[in-house]
Chains A and B, each alone.
Chain A
Amino acid sequence: MSGADIAAIFGGAVVTVSLSLVGILIGLPIGLGLALIRWANVPFVARIVVLYVSVLRATPLVTLLLLLFFALPNIGVPINPISAAILALVMNTSAFNCEVWRSALMGFPKDQYEAAQSVGMRAGQRFRRIVLPQIVRVSLPGLVNEMSLLIKVTPVLAVVGVVDITRAAVRIGSETYEPLPPFLVAIALYAPIVFALVSLQRWIERRQLAVEAAA
């Protein structure tokens, strides 16, 4: 394995990390929005959100990605691999995020909301000052878990030609006929990224436990 090969895997790492980041950053607020629609029980739209979330959670990311990449041009929407990948990641992760946010919203004590109402806060204020800070705290471990799942699912983006860490490693392995070294380099790249997220999740959970114990 030459230096150029290692550089190629690092190039793949840049693609993996940036696609995951874009997916997380777009997917988080969309998931929150979907959860809010369900929480507020917006007529008709909430039904559609339920359907969307159920279908998306039941569809493997590869299938969704292949569908988007090959079917959208068929109905006249041109799409390149990167945008198909981002679209699929966002659709997938927003559905899972929606469930995390929603369960936090379901556990939110209603009396606090009513108390905020009674002191005359408007809907926006109530959400921003009372609801959001608390549900963020509750849903954070689940969201971080979802982020690490998202990073671990990025190798399937290779089916439409996105060259990420895994794809670069497979390519080098098939060129040099020695598949093990590039795979080990790939693991060495993935492991710190995901391990950082897993540790973050554990740290958050431990801190919350400590806060609860102190209270």
Chain B
Amino acid sequence: MIHDFGIVWSERALLLSGLANTTILSALSAVAALLLGCILTPALMSKQRLVSWVARVFVDGMRCVPFLLFAYIVYYGFPSFGIRLDNWTSGLAALTIYNAAYMAEILRGAWAAQPGEPIEAGCCAATSKKFVVPSTKVLSSCSCSMVGCFPVRP
């Protein structure tokens, strides 16, 4: 048994590089997904029917596909459209796109749960700042479910 752990220790470089990959990919994709989600959320709530419909189809589509299958599609399927990514980049792209859909949905939920008054007040006070008031509140109110969202991953 101890001997077996000795093998693990002698291969620690491999394990550590795996840990580094996991950490870097998670961190990068989390930030990128959050940013992409911030762009997607207004699209989801857009008054323009077409824009909100396209965003809704994307978000619901992502929520209906297992992540592993989506990663396979990015890696094996995208070359058919002429997009050829190496394994690391396609992993990052898959994580980012997939999580962006979830981020957008969480942000939309948090946004919809906000009371309307602060937003109206923000609009009255200064148009240039009207995004700041709700966005900080929205982000802080849904940070828990965001953190909860990231570990849910094979």
Picked from A169, A180, A187, the residue with its CB within 8 Å of the CB of B80 is A180
- The B interface is mostly helix, strand or loop, or mixed, namely helix
Closest 7 A-B residue pairs measured CB to CB?
A: A179-B76, A155-B68, A156-B154, A152-B66, A194-B64, A191-B64, A180-B77
For residue A22, CB closer than 8 A to chain B, the reply is no
> Does B154 contact A170, Cβ atoms closer than 8 Å?
no
For residue A19, CB closer than 8 A to chain B, the reply is no
Interface size class of chain B, counting residues whose CB lies under 8 Å from the partner chain: 10 to 19
For residue B116, CB closer than 8 A to chain A, the reply is no
> Does B154 contact A155, Cβ atoms closer than 8 Å?
yes
Per the bound structure, the CA–CA distance linking A148 and B63 in Å amounts to: 9
Query: Which residue of B is nearest A167, CB measured?
Result: B68
User: Which chain A residues have a beta carbon within 8 Å of chain B's beta carbons?
Assistant: 57-58, 60-62, 148-149, 151-156, 165-166, 169-170, 173, 178-180, 183, 186-187, 190-191, 194-195, 198
Contacts of B61 in A (CB 8 A): 191
> Does A154 contact B66, Cβ atoms closer than 8 Å?
yes
What are 22 A-to-B residue pairs whose CB atoms are below 8 Å? A57-B151, A58-B151, A148-B63, A151-B66, A152-B65, A152-B66, A152-B67, A153-B66, A155-B68, A155-B154, A165-B69, A166-B66, A166-B68, A166-B69, A166-B72, A178-B80, A179-B72, A179-B76, A187-B64, A187-B65, A191-B65, A194-B65
> Does A173 contact B152, Cβ atoms closer than 8 Å?
no
For residue B47, CB closer than 8 A to chain A, the reply is no
Chain A nearest CB from B61 CB (Å) reads 7
> Does A195 contact B66, Cβ atoms closer than 8 Å?
no
> Does B76 contact A198, Cβ atoms closer than 8 Å?
no
Contacts of B152 in A (CB 8 A): 149
Per the bound structure, the CA–CA distance linking A195 and B64 in Å amounts to: 6
Chain B nearest CB from A196 CB (Å) reads 9
Per the bound structure, the CA–CA distance linking A149 and B63 in Å amounts to: 9
User: Which chain B residues have a beta carbon within 8 Å of chain A's beta carbons?
Assistant: 60-61, 63-69, 72-73, 76-77, 80, 151-154
Chain B nearest CB from A164 CB (Å) reads 9
Q: How many A-B residue pairs have CB under 8 A?
A: 66
Chain B nearest CB from A139 CB (Å) reads 16
Chain A nearest CB from B26 CB (Å) reads 12
Query: Which residue of A is nearest B154, CB measured?
Result: A156
Per the bound structure, the CA–CA distance linking A178 and B63 in Å amounts to: 25
Query: Which residue of A is nearest B70, CB measured?
Result: A187
Chain A nearest CB from B82 CB (Å) reads 12
Contacts of A61 in B (CB 8 A): 154
Query: Which residue of A is nearest B81, CB measured?
Result: A180
